[in-house]
Amino acid sequence: MLGQYLITFREVLEASLITAIILAYLTRTGREHLTRYVWIGVFISVVVSLVLGAIIWTVYGTLDKPSKVLFEGVAALIAVAVLTSMIYWMALKGRHIKEEMEEKLGVAVKRGAMIALISLAFIVVFREGLETVLFLTPFLVTDVAGTVAGAALGIISGFVLAFAIFKVGMKINLHRFFYFTSILLILLAAGLLGYGLHELTEYVVVTGGDPGWLGQSAYVLDISSDSIFHHKGGIGSIFAVMFGYSVKMEWIRVIAHAVYLAVMLPLVVMIYKRPDLIEKFSKAIKRVFRMFSRPKASDGVDNGSGEIVEAETA
């Protein structure tokens, strides 16, 4: 339940903060009458997200055992991909999100308030809703009660904190908040990646395939299934959700878990702690891509500013 709570809490908080930024901007610029269009967009996005979640759950219920195993594995990997992109995007853009959102709002209001604001609010909130559905799907198919409870608590907590920040004036360092929650989500995503690969390995086995040495056990802990420290026990299940803990793991799961953490943890820490280095690295990568994508001229030279000019002949 803890992992489901953390995911939902952060997604709801992000959606609430962005919605609050939109509403505050409209109020500050004397356009309170346009706020109803924002709420329409929010309402539509929530309904669509719930319908999407119901469709996914319904489809899962119609599958046979091997297909369910495949579904769980693929759903987990999709969730990891989206979760990773969300963590990376928030780390890069989080500090400038207010300015970027107000810039988009200024353009939206000028182009046609009703459709533009409904669309903007829908896209912003639906993105968080879609991410939440994708993140929770792997948990929902294995722990319905825990997922529903965690999601409900996460929704309430997210709304309460957003309300406290914007209405009560509660002071919170959002940059630090998103930094620490990003670290926790990376740990969760690493475990989810391992779980997804475990399910895909199981699918290969049940369908008559051979995963080779990657499907062999890397370790087996001497912990009984009725112990609270088993990954399905009271304490072990918390570590299983948050950190991918299991009393038994295949090599592919161990390797993927370790590689993901080795890449994502230093990357996100560096983005938050040293954004200047990341910006320099991004510019260097862009220069390299421009260098290879620049059109070639048979008898031209680079003038130093990125333009190709005709070479002079003596």
Does position 98 have pLDDT exceeding 50, yes or no?
A: yes
> Tokens 């080779």 belong to which residue?
212
Does position 89 have pLDDT exceeding 80, yes or no?
A: no
Report domain extents, the chain.
2-286
When pLDDT is cut at 50, 70 and 90, the band that residue 295 belongs to is low
Q: Residue 157 is which amino acid?
A: S
Q: Poorest-confidence range of 6-20, 66-80, 163-177, 203-217?
A: 163-177
Long-range CB contacts (< 8 A, 24+ apart) of 89-97? 90/14, 90/178, 90/182, 91/178, 91/179, 91/182, 91/268, 91/271, 91/272, 92/271, 92/275, 92/278, 94/174, 94/175, 94/178, 95/175, 95/275, 97/18, 97/21
pTM of the model: 0.69
pLDDT score for 309: 47
pLDDT score for 278: 62
| Count of beta carbons in the 10 Å neighbourhood of residue 142 | 14
pLDDT score for 5: 80
Q: Poorest-confidence range of 24-38, 108-122, 127-141, 153-167?
A: 108-122
Q: What is the mean pLDDT of the chain?
A: 77
Average pLDDT over residues 265-278: 77
Rounded CA separation 199/221 (Å): 20
Give yes or no for a contact between 105 and 25, defined as CB atoms under 8 angstroms apart.
Answer: yes
Instruction: Please tell me which residue, 53 or 2, carries the higher pLDDT value.
Output: 53
pLDDT score for 215: 85
pLDDT score for 183: 85
pLDDT score for 112: 60
- 34-73 confidence digits (pLDDT tens): 788 888 888 898 898 888 888 888 887 788 888 888 888 8
- Name which of 90, 94, 76 is nearest 190 in CA terms: 76
Instruction: Please tell me which residue, 295 or 307, carries the higher pLDDT value.
Output: 295
- 151-198 confidence digits (pLDDT tens): 888 888 878 877 776 665 556 666 777 788 788 888 888 888 988 898
Instruction: Please tell me which residue, 312 or 274, carries the higher pLDDT value.
Output: 274
Does position 231 have pLDDT exceeding 50, yes or no?
A: yes
Rounded CA separation 229/141 (Å): 22
| Angular region, 77: left φ>0, alpha ψ -120 to 50, beta rest | alpha
Average pLDDT over residues 66-91: 83
Rounded CA separation 292/295 (Å): 8
Average pLDDT over residues 9-35: 78
Does position 127 have pLDDT exceeding 90, yes or no?
A: no
Does position 91 have pLDDT exceeding 60, yes or no?
A: yes
pLDDT score for 168: 59
Q: Which value, to the nearest 10 degrees, does the dihedral of the CA atoms of residues 38, 40, 46, 52 take? A: -120
When pLDDT is cut at 50, 70 and 90, the band that residue 111 belongs to is low
| Sequential DSSP letters for the chain | -HHHHHHHHHHHHHHHHHHHHHHHHHHHTT-GGGHHHHHHHHHHHHHHHHHHHHHHHHHHHTS-HHHHHHHHHHHHHHHHHHHHHHHHHHHHHGGGHHHHHHHHHHHHHHH-HHHHHHHHHHHHHHHHHHHHHHHHHHHHTT-HHHHHHHHHHHHHHHHHHHHIIIII-----HHHHHHHHHHHHHHHHHHHHHHHHHHHHHHHHHTT---GGGGSEEEE----TTSTTSTTSTTHHHHHHHH---SEEEHHHHHHHHHHHHHHHHHHHHHHH-HHHHHHHHHHHHHHHHHHHSPP-TTEEE-SSS-EEEPP--
Rounded CA separation 99/256 (Å): 37
Give yes or no for a contact between 240 and 192, defined as CB atoms under 8 angstroms apart.
Answer: no
* Tokens (6 digits) for 265: 């943890």
Q: Poorest-confidence range of 17-31, 205-219, 254-268?
A: 17-31
Rounded CA separation 244/187 (Å): 8
When pLDDT is cut at 50, 70 and 90, the band that residue 298 belongs to is very low
Give yes or no for a contact between 211 and 204, defined as CB atoms under 8 angstroms apart.
Answer: yes
Does position 213 have pLDDT exceeding 80, yes or no?
A: yes
pLDDT score for 170: 53
Does position 311 have pLDDT exceeding 60, yes or no?
A: no
